[in-house]
């Protein structure tokens, strides 16, 4: 009997916008990393952000992945199908006193900041509601607001082992504070949902953009609290545009849908993604053909730039 753990990766698009070239590259690399070692890939559509997800966008996400030549094992699963499991986990955390109801608004959290933070960094939650209410009902009655639930972050360092960067140490209590695990509308927040789902899907490797590296520390804390396994993490530096900014979902000219509609060749996109990740491949090939060229030790440690010339090349009709 083999004691080796089966290798399972995942594609986890949020259908809140169009999949662009930056996401495409991450999905391809996540897929190659697993497929090159004979592992399974699950597709999970992260549709919990209710207001922004539509059924058309779910179909669009699948269509874009298929255009890239990616496949997955089993049927695509919507994250929202796991809501009951997540509610049970939240109830467990509540029963063990590891979370508390919070009625602070975003504005109040921001105002309570001692020093404003630069850019879009999330403000640290100062713990205003910690120990304030006996239950969610009590919080609602006393404040007239529907509470969210926050996880009590223990003091001290949290270490994330990342395959590219080694051990990265975060101080979640000092940088983020107690974070939201259930939103006001009752839906599980991203950090809880992703931890719950990765465990449920048996995911052993998470390859994603390094904008989510700080989140990995929060996810480690939740995995520990819920006694769930932690997958191996690979956080990849993102794709930047010519001016050095992150590619945004609203930039339509970078969207796969527009590329596909304009008759672009997915094999050119595949080649660009592969070459940007140090893979030695020809200028056009399918995702499947590139699999054997995947080399984890050549993954870049720096962001890659997508310049105009490359973009024009990728948009050319075949």
Report phi then psi at 152, rounded to 5: -80, 110
Q: For the window 200-219, what string marks contact with ligand GLU as x by the rule CB under 6 A? A: --------x---x-------
What does the block give as tokens for 255?
Answer: 């969207």
Which C-beta is closer to ligand GLU: that of 46 or that of 178? 46
What is the distance between the alpha carbons of residues 283 and 97, in angstroms, rounded to a whole number? 56
Which C-beta is closer to ligand GLU: that of 14 or that of 204? 14
What does the block give as tokens for 305?
Answer: 């730039």
Quick check: 255 binds ligand GLU (CB under 6 A)?
A: no
State the chain's maximal CA–CA distance in angstroms: 65
Tell me the closest approach of the beta carbon of residue 222 to ligand GLU, in angstroms: 12
What does the block give as tokens for 144?
Answer: 């007239």
Q: Which of 21, 194, 256, 268 binds ligand GLU (CB under 6 A)?
A: 194
With contacts defined by CB under 6 A, name the span among 9-17, 123-131, 274-282, 304-312 that binds ligand GLU: 9-17
- In the block, residue with structure tokens 């998470």: 206
Contact 50, 17 (CB under 8 A): no
Tell me the closest approach of the beta carbon of residue 218 to ligand GLU, in angstroms: 11
Q: Which of 18, 21, 46, 64 binds ligand GLU (CB under 6 A)?
A: 46
Alpha helices of 96-164 — where are they, by DSSP H?
106-111, 136-143
Q: How many residues bind ligand GLU (CB under 6 A)?
A: 7
Tell me the closest approach of the beta carbon of residue 67 to ligand GLU, in angstroms: 17
Q: Which of 9, 13, 127, 177 binds ligand GLU (CB under 6 A)?
A: 13
With contacts defined by CB under 6 A, name the span among 7-15, 65-73, 233-241, 242-250 that binds ligand GLU: 7-15
Which C-beta is closer to ligand GLU: that of 196 or that of 291? 196
Which C-beta is closer to ligand GLU: that of 178 or that of 201? 201
What is the distance between the alpha carbons of residues 72 and 150, in angstroms, rounded to a whole number? 34
- In the block, residue with structure tokens 């056009």: 284
Residues of this chain that bind ligand GLU (CB under 6 A): 12-14, 46, 194, 208, 212
């Amino acid at each position: 009997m083999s004691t080796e753990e089966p290798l399972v990766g995942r594609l986890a698009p949020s259908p809140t916008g169009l999949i662009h070239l930056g996401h495409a590259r991450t999905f391809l690399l996540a897929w190659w990393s697993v497929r090159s070692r004979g592992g399974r890939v699950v597709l999970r559509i992260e549709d919990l952000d209710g207001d922004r997800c539509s059924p058309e966008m779910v179909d669009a996400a699948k269509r874009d992945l298929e255009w890239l030549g990616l496949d997955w094992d089993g049927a695509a699963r919507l994250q929202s199908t796991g809501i009951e499991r997540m509610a049970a986990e939240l109830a467990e955390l509540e029963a063990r006193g590891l979370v508390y109801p919070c009625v602070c608004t975003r504005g109040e959290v921001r105002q309570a900041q001692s020093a404003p933070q630069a850019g879009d960094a999330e403000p640290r939650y100062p713990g205003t509601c910690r120990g304030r209410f006996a239950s969610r009902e009590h919080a609602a009655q006393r404040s007239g607001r529907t509470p969210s639930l926050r996880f009590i972050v223990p003091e001290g360092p949290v270490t994330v082992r990342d395959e590219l960067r080694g051990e990265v140490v975060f101080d979640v209590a000092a940088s983020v504070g107690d974070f939201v695990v259930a939103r006001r509308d009752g839906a599980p927040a991203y950090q809880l949902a992703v931890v719950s789902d990765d465990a449920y899907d048996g995911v052993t490797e998470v390859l994603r953009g390094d904008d989510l590296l700080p989140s990995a520390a929060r996810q480690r804390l939740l995995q520990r609290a819920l006694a769930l396994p932690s997958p191996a993490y690979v956080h990849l530096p993102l794709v930047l545009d010519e001016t050095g900014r992150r590619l945004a979902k609203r930039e339509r000219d970078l969207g796969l849908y527009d590329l596909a509609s304009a008759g672009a060749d997915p094999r050119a996109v595949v080649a660009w993604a592969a070459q940007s990740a140090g893979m030695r491949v020809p200028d056009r090939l399918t995702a499947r053909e590139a699999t054997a060229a995947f080399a984890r030790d050549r993954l870049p440690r720096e962001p890659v730039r997508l310049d105009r010339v490359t973009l024009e090349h990728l948009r050319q009709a075949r």
